[in-house]
Amino acid sequence: MKTISRETITREQIHRLGAAGLRGFFRLADLWNLSVDDQRVLLGSPPRSTFFDWKKDPQRALTRDTLERLSYLIGIYKALQILFHDSSIADRWIHRAADAPPFGGKTPLHFMLRGDIAALYEVRRYLDAWRGAW
């Protein structure tokens, strides 16, 4: 398996990855029953017009921050699908209160809606540790 360094990735490849990431995000947003406002926060709070442009046509240039957010969110989705054999349970997990750190009795979605990328990282790390990926 060949590892691709940042230097060897072309703008076209980044563009395609971003478009695929946005399409995947909008599918998981439907599965997770996320409001438009929640979706925007998870994507880094882009202007409404930008968000709806992305939704209409995901073939847009994205910032590194947005690409990283998409990567974490899709990773969270994938980890949940691995952890729960019933996809409906996996899709509802982010809406269930959790006592485990870092959630402190709130839902993982509430935690992620802090808006910072570190929250997405923490949820992804929590799920990866839970499933024994370390």
Each of the 134 residues of the chain gets a pLDDT tens digit; together they read: 445 555 555 666 666 678 889 999 999 999 999 999 999 999 999 999 999 999 998 888 888 899 999 999 999 999 999 999 899 999 999 999 999 888 999 999 999 999 899 999 999 999 999 988 55
For the four alpha carbons of 57, 67, 70 and 48, in that order, the dihedral sign comes to: negative
Distance CA 130, CA 124 (A): 10
At residue 60, the pLDDT reads 80
As given in the structure block, the two tokens for residue 92 are 């509802």
At residue 53, the pLDDT reads 94
